[in-house]
Structure 1
Amino acid sequence: MMMSLFSSFDPSTNLGLPLNWASLFLGILLLPLPFWIIPSRMEILWNKIIKALHAEFKVLLGLGKMSGSTLMFISLFSLIMFNNFLGLFPYIFTSTSHLAMSLSLALPLWVSFMLYGWVNNTIHMLAHLVPQGTPPILMPFMVCIETVSNLIRPGTLAVRLSANMIAGHLLLTLLGSTGTSLSVSLMSILIITQLLLLLLESAVSIIQSYVFAVLSTLYSSEVI
C-alpha cells in the first residue's frame, strides 16, 4: 500500500516488481463499453478530436507526404494524454513523469526520422544544417549549432513532458500536505486553490500531449 502521494512517482511496489507500469493500460479499461459498441456521445466527440488532429498533422507533414502517418501521431497523442490524466488521480502511478517512459517514446521516433532522412534524402538533410542566407564565414558555426540542436531534440521532448508532469503533481501534493495545520477559513481557500490547480493540470495534460505530438510531426516533416 502506498503511504503518500509521492509514491505515485515510485515505479516499484511492495512485491519488488515494477507492476505500477501496468497503469499504462488503464486508459483502455476506463473507456466505457458503449464507446466500442454504438456511436455514443463520447465516441462522436473523440472522432471529432481525431479528425481535427488529422487535419492539422496533415498540414504540418505536407500534402501527399507519408500517407497514413498522421494515425501514428494521433495514437501518440492519445497514449500520452490518457496517462497524463490518469496521473491526476491519487495513488495512481504517473508514468509520463519518468524519463524512462517519455524518452522511450521520443528517442525511437527521432532515430527513425534521422535514419530515414540521411539514407533517403542526404542532400536535403545537409542543407538543413545551414540556414538559408547564412554568410559563408558563419557556416561552420551554424553547422555545429544546428547539429547540437538536432541531437538534443529527443532529450528536450522527454524532459519537457516529464518536468511538467512532476511540477504540477508536486505543487498539488505540497499544498495538500499543509491542510491539517490550517484554520477553517484558510482551508476553504486551500480547497479552492487546489481545485483551480487541478483544472490547470488537466489543461496541462492535454497541452503537453499535444505539444509532444506536434513537435514529433514537425521533426518528421523536416526529413522528407
Structure 2
Amino acid sequence: MTNLFSIFDPSTSMKINLNWMSLLLGMMITPSWYWMMSGRYLMMMMKMLNKMNNEFKMLIKLSINKGSTLMFISLFVLVMMNNSIGLYPYLFTSTSHLSVTLSIALPMWLSFMLMGWLKNTKHMFTHLVPMSTPSTLMPLMVCIETISNLIRPVTLSVRLTANMIAGHLILTLLGNNMMEMSFMMLPIMTLIQTTLMILESMVAIIQGYVMATLSILYSSEVN
C-alpha cells in the first residue's frame, strides 16, 4: 500500500523535485508554429475556446467586466492540460496535490472576497441572508452562509485533487493486478483499462470545466 501512492510522489529517484516542471510541460512541448500559423490543431482549440467563451458570457455581465472570460478560459486550459498530462506514462500529475490546487483556488477566492467586501459591502451583507428567510432563522443562516463562503477554496481544491487521485489509483490497481492474471483474463482487463482511460480523459476535461464554472459563479456573487 505504501508503493501504491508512490505515483503521487513529486520526488524523482535522485531526490530532485523536477517533477513540478510538468506544470510548464504543456507550454514547452507546444511547437512555435502553433501560435503563428493556422492548422487543424489551432482550429480545434479555437472552436473549443469560442464555445467556452459563449457559455461564460451567459454567467458574467460583460458590460461591467469586459474580458473577464479570458481569465476563466485560461484557468480551464491550465487545469485541463495538467490533468491530461498525468494520464501519460511516467509523467507526474501536479493537480493531484493540494499544494497546487489550493494555490490556484485560494488567491482567486481571496481576491473575490476582498473585491466584494471593499466594493459592495452592503451587497455582501445582504447575501448572507437568502430571500424569504424567516426572522427566527436569520442568525442561523448567517452562520451557515459564512461557513460556506470560508470553505469554498477548500472544496474547489479538494474536489479536483480527489477526482484525480481516485482515477489514477483505480488505473494503477488494475495495472498491477494484470501481471498476476491468467491469459484468458487479459483481453477483458485490457478492455476495462481502455474504458477507464477514456473515462479518465473525460474527467480531466470535466474537472477543468467545473472549476472554471464555479469560479465564475463565485465571482458573480460578489459583483
Q: Which residue of 1 aligns with 2:123?
A: 124
Q: Partner of 2:58: helix, strand, or coil?
A: helix
- Tell me if the contact between 1:61 and 1:221 (Cα under 8 Å) persists in the aligned partners: yes
Match of 2:91 in 1: 92
Q: What TM-score does the superposition give when structure 2 sets the normalisation length?
A: 0.95
The answer on 1:37 being equivalent to 2:32 is: no
Partner of residue 79, structure 1: 78
Query: What corresponds to 2:66 in structure 1?
Result: 67
Equivalent AA in structure 1 for residue 24 of structure 2: F
Partner of 1:195: 194
Give the aligned partner of residue 223 of structure 1.
Answer: 222
**Residues 23, 95 of structure 1: 8 Å contact kept:** yes
User: Given the alignment of the two structures, is residue 164 of structure 1 paired with residue 174 of structure 2, yes or no?
Assistant: no
What is the CA distance between 1:6 and its match in structure 2?
Answer: 4.5
Report how far residue 63 of structure 1 moved.
3.5
CA distance in 2, matches of 1:44, 1:147: 44
Equivalent in the alignment of 1:101: 100
Contact 2:62 2:68 in 1 (8 A): no
Q: Give the letter aligned to residue 94 of structure 1.
A: T
Q: Is the 8 A contact 1:5 1:91 kept in 2?
A: no
Q: How many residues align?
A: 221
> 2:47: which partner in 1?
48
Kindly indicate whether the alpha-carbon contact (under 8 Å) linking 1:5 and 1:90 is maintained by their aligned counterparts in 2.
no
Q: Give the unaligned 5+ runs of structure 1.
A: none
Question: What TM-score does the superposition give when structure 1 sets the normalisation length?
Answer: 0.95
Structure 2 unaligned segments of length 5 or more: list them: none
Counterpart-to-counterpart distance in 1, 2:137 and 2:36: 60
CA RMSD of aligned residues (A): 1.3
Match for 1:90: what amino acid? P
Letter in structure 1 aligned against 2:161: S
| Alpha-carbon distance in 1 for matches of 2:100, 2:27 | 18
What amino acid maps onto 1:110 in structure 2?
A: W
State the match for 2:148 in structure 1. Answer: 149
Mapped contact 1:54–1:70 kept (Cα < 8 A): yes
Shift of 1:64: 1.1
